[in-house]
Amino acid sequence: MVTLSLGTTTFADQQRQKQQETREYGRKAIPLFHTGDDDDDDDNNDNDDDDDSVIHKDKKLKTTNDGNSIKFLSTVKPTDKNRDEKEIIKLENMPAEVDISRYNNSTTNKSLKPIEPKNPILILKNKLNNKYLLPDITREDTLNARMCLKYYGIRQFLDKYLPDELNSLYLYFLIKLLGFELKDTILLKAISMNVQQNSTEINVSDLSSTQIDDPLDKRQTVQLIKDLQKAFNKILATRIRLLSFNRIEDLVTKLHSASNIIVLTGAGVSTSLGIPDFRSSEGFYSQIKYLGLDDPQEVFSYDHFMRDPSIFYSIAKMVLPPENMYSPLHSFIKMLHDKGKLLRNYTQNIDNLESYAGIPPERLIQCHGSFATASCVTCHFQLPGEKIFKKIRNVEVPLCPYCYDRRKEYFPTNEPNATNISNVPRSYGVIKPDITFFGEALPSKFHKSIRHDLTQCDLLICIGTSLKVAPVSEIVNMLPAHVPQVLINRDPVKHTDFDLSLLGYCDDIASAITQKCGWDIPHEKWEKELKTKKFEYVGNERGVYTFEHK
């Protein structure tokens, strides 16, 4: 069995040693856990006239001298007639270097450097079937590669990770290493035809490091370059993880010192009450597949509601919140407020359970509205949301008393889904809960508060959310980069690099953290069970812990 990993395969090291002898400059072997004690100078100290491209046969991957662009070139000098300008692709606003001091409160020092790869990537080829064997990738590899990209910039990143000779599969591997997947099924099929899927029965003697032919055509290679640039853009637009904040103890310390905590919550904070989340395999969207919608999110589309409100009201009872109930997690947030630490709770939930837990209105931003009130879509008459709960439970469409007579003229049968000869929409005179549908603007209170809060926040805790819906999901990218960011969720959120991810049931994790802080959650379940419960967790990798639920 042959297992390849980044910089650890003995055979690969032997082959790389041969390549190293012909390189223009030496590359120091950096320990796997680099502490910054080695004085490793920048590799890119060559003259501007030197060709610093990485080359394979008739292809080049080249960074410009400012490090801000990548070019795909042909070794045959193109004429004005045959030059394909589409092959030269510019990266937008890509810094050649990233100032690491922006991402840490302390002065920059070498100990903050990410771990450099021991050697460039090496993709081996099986001489028996001419298929390529890609190295294994761990999440730790991905996190470190992203940090290297942001720390060193594009030019040095490519120089550190790519060998002198390469083919297009190296571009594909870089995309995967950075944590992205291709969406082009045709391109994926072409790659899979040339990649060894099973390495369990490969002899080392059958492997070769010589890359002679490129398995992909020119068009596919250009597409890979475009996809790689998109990955670069995405990563360079986000913050660098704080290297000094990746343990549970770091969170406990910060909770004691913080005074302006933003807590961003999603559906996961209410699932312990029997309220389904939206996007999990057992969530709300999975439960309404029977409606036959192209996208289950259409049930919350404002345009769809205005055309036919009966679709929403056919399932509204499934998201109708319980009254006077709240979870230990809601009480955890209330505890932060009681201790003078809560700056704001931005909730994506529409169940209004935060108010039942006692979180004051001035500390609560219901980003997507709530069932607390409801309004007529025609005359905007507003009433308490509980006034239409009975209609919702009976799967009936609530109608406005002030628009009722006129609606009766348009719809004589008094059926919400009845047709009429006029152009009046079916939603005329219908009362809609004051929740923000897709296509509606967020409440003005959100925009007013977020501008202020971003400058005051000293800790962000995202709880029970997959961060899929903008603009709330963008809060993590709007905060100053030195502010610690923590995720408490059942599943990891892969498109955002949190400094600390605590995975498991939200109530359990909040209780475990509260125990470590020596505090008490103002919830009856705390005194009965959670205060003395033993919580077990394991550290999967840097900054990621999984809590076991018993």
User: pLDDT for 472-514, tens place per residue?
Assistant: 888 888 888 899 999 999 988 877 889 999 999 999 999 999 9
User: Distance between CA atoms of 321 and 275, rounded to whole angstroms?
Assistant: 8
* Cα-to-chain-centroid distance, residue 238: 10
Of all helices (H) and strands (E), which one includes residue 311? helix 310-313
Across-strand partners of 461? 263, 486
Q: Which residues are designated catalytic?
A: 368
Average pLDDT over residues 285-302: 65
Instruction: Map out the domains of the chain as residue ranges.
Output: 10-236, 241-275+327-367+443-550, 276-320+369-435
User: pLDDT for 6-31, tens place per residue?
Assistant: 544 444 444 444 444 333 323 322 22
User: Which CB contacts under 8 angstroms, 24+ apart, belong to 329-332?
Assistant: 329/265, 329/269, 329/272, 329/463, 329/464, 329/506, 329/507, 329/510, 330/269, 330/354, 330/356, 330/357, 330/359, 330/523, 331/357, 331/521, 331/522, 331/523, 331/526, 332/510, 332/511, 332/514, 332/521
Return mean pLDDT, the chain: 77
Closest CA to 182 of 117, 324, 173: 173
Beta strands in 359-453 (DSSP E): 364-366, 369-376, 382-384, 431-435
Which of 197-201, 425-429, 435-439 has the weakest average pLDDT?
197-201
Please report, for residues 140, 145, 211, 463, the alpha-carbon distance to residue 169 in angstroms, rounded to integers and kept in the order given. 21, 17, 10, 38
Query: Torsion over CA of 144, 146, 152 and 156, rounded to 10 degrees?
Result: 90
Tell whether the model's pLDDT for residue 418 goes beyond 60.
no
For every residue of 247-258, DSSP letters joined together read SHHHHHHHHHH-
Average pLDDT over residues 420-424: 68
pLDDT of residue 60: 45
Tokens representing residue 222 in the block:
């250009």
Average pLDDT over residues 64-87: 42
Known binding residue 400? Answer is yes
End-to-end CA distance of the chain: 38
Level-2 CATH architecture, domain 276-320+369-435? 2-Layer Sandwich (3.30)
Confidence of residue 366 (pLDDT cuts 50, 70, 90): very high
Only one residue has tokens 């606003």, namely 93
Question: What homologous superfamily does CATH list for 241-275+327-367+443-550?
Answer: TPP-binding domain (3.40.50.1220)
CATH number of the domain at 10-236, out of 1.20.120.1710, 2.40.50.1070, 1.10.3720.10, 2.40.160.20? 1.20.120.1710
Known binding residue 403? Answer is yes
Q: What is the largest CA-CA distance in the chain?
A: 89
